[in-house]
């Protein structure tokens, strides 16, 4: 991932240095287990533990010749350890190291991601509570529907992101596994107790059973949970972008002092961060699809997945970490234009209160269908009239002979649409 979208703490997990450091943790843990079981000399293990190290540049140089990164790594480590290096990687295959170390790094990355999910939830919760009773117009099909509460919009986001977190934590649990089971996963040269001991030391779970690799449905589920989370974040960002449109003007991204919106038009304040959230989410969905393609491998394994995972796993972790970080900034600096929201509710002269009038009229008229026709006739008439909907309603005898002026006015009361918001909030928060 390019530096522009990489936060330092997350980026550090996916450096070459940290990759090889995690490989070394696996090798040392395996040597410790073998030593405790009496399979390799304890003196040899103590030497391995003390001296084992590597140099990235040296690994790169060796790999250029042998064309195998794990062999290059082991050769570099052996140069530090000396003769006892013959006990390193005992009975193991490359993927014992690669997949177990990947579990370590993905688990570490997930902890950073989860912290940002929690922070995002906290910011959404603040907005929801602050605007629980802030009225705004609801829209369906992009068209005015009925008044609702801005807090309810945020409550929707809150519950959706909570579900995303639940999925992500479950997926994290699935990838937090290791395997030390040999070339085809049958433990031919190692007792399963070695795997158990290594995983316990590294705070991973042993895969119940494996081939040469940990099965890639685990990674696909993990990448899919990230993609789904990103899709929700894009949904939230798209709502902000829409409500920032000039003709709507209800929400707006914060605009820092000295910030510029356009190289050509000095007046511009654009929702650039929300747009970035939306754009990067598309990459994460693409990565999830590539993760699914990696599930079906030949027999006990091939390496068609390997090159793909070198890109999609680090990039997905780095990107969701960055997207969450940026969206937290959007939320914490979000500008809410309550007056514009109020004005938009009444922009149509009361048309958005039509359902309440329909319900009020249906009983006295004796037919919902007749009441609907009366209300719709007046609604369509108001669209091409200088009179507002409520003014036209009060001149229609089909309405006034059944409803008093007070009863008509009650149909246009904004508070009616917010009367049960607190009950919903009790279910959510």
Catalytic residue positions?
Answer: 141, 262
Token pair for residue 61? 């140089």
Bridge partners of residue 205, in order along the sequence: 177
Torsion of CA 420, 422, 425, 429, to 10 degrees: -160
From CA 146, how far away is CA 411, in angstroms rounded?
A: 12
What stretches of 143-216 show up as alpha helix (H) in DSSP?
A: 150-175, 192-202
| Rounded-to-integer distance, Cα 244 and Cα 258, Å | 20
Beta-bridged to residue 251, according to DSSP, are 336
DSSP codes of every residue in 217-267:
HHHHHHHHHHHHHHHHHHHHHHHHHHHTSTTT-SEE----TT--S-SS-TT
Residues near 282 by beta carbon (within 8 Å), at least 6 away in sequence = 234
Per-residue tokens: 193 = 């107790």
**CB half-sphere exposure, 260, CA atoms < 13 A:** 5
109 touches 222 (CB < 8 A): no
Positive/negative CA dihedral, 189, 192, 193, 198? positive
């Amino acid at each position: 991932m390019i530096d522009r979208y990489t936060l330092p703490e997350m980026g550090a997990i996916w450096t070459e240095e940290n990759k090889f450091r995690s490989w070394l943790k696996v090798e040392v843990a395996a040597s410790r287990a073998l030593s405790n079981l009496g399979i390799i000399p304890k003196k040899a293990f103590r030497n391995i533990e003390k001296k084992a190290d590597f140099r990235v540049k040296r690994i790169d140089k060796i790999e250029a010749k042998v064309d195998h990164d794990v062999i290059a790594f082991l050769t570099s480590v052996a140069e530090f350890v000396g003769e006892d290096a013959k006990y390193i990687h005992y009975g193991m295959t490359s993927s014992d190291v690669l997949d177990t170390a990947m579990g370590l790094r993905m688990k570490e990355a997930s902890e950073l991601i989860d912290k940002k999910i929690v922070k995002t939830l906290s910011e959404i919760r603040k907005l929801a509570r602050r605007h629980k009773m802030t009225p705004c117009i609801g829209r369906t099909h992009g068209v005015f529907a009925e008044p609702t509460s801005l807090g309810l919009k945020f409550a929707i986001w809150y519950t959706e992101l909570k579900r995303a977190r639940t999925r992500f934590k479950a997926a994290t649990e699935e990838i937090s596994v290791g395997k030390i089971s040999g070339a085809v996963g049958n433990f031919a040269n190692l007792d399963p107790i070695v795997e158990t001991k290594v995983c316990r030391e590294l705070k991973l779970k042993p895969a119940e059973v494996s081939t040469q690799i940990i099965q890639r449905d685990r990674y696909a589920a993990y990448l899919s949970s990230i993609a789904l989370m990103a899709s929700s974040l894009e949904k939230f960002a798209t709502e902000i972008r829409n409500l920032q449109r000039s003709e709507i003007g209800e929400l707006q991204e914060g605009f820092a002092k000295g910030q510029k919106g356009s190289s050509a038009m000095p007046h511009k304040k654009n929702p650039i961060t929300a747009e970035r959230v939306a754009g990067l989410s598309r990459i994460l969905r693409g990565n999830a699809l590539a993760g699914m393609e990696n599930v079906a491998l030949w027999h006990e394994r091939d390496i068609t997945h390997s090159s793909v995972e070198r890109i999609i796993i680090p990039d997905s972790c780095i990107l969701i970490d960055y997207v969450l970080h940026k969206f937290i900034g959007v939320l914490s600096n979000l500008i809410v234009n309550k007056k514009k929201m109020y004005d938009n509710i009444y922009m149509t002269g009361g048309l958005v209160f039509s359902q309440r009038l329909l319900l009020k009229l249906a009983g006295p008229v004796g037919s919902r269908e007749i009441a609907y026709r009366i209300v719709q006739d007046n609604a369509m008439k108001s669209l091409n009239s200088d009179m507002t909907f409520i003014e036209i309603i009060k001149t229609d005898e089909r309405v006034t002979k059944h409803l008093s002026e007070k009863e008509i006015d009650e149909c246009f009361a904004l508070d009616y649409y917010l009367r049960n918001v607190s009950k919903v909030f009790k279910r959510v928060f």
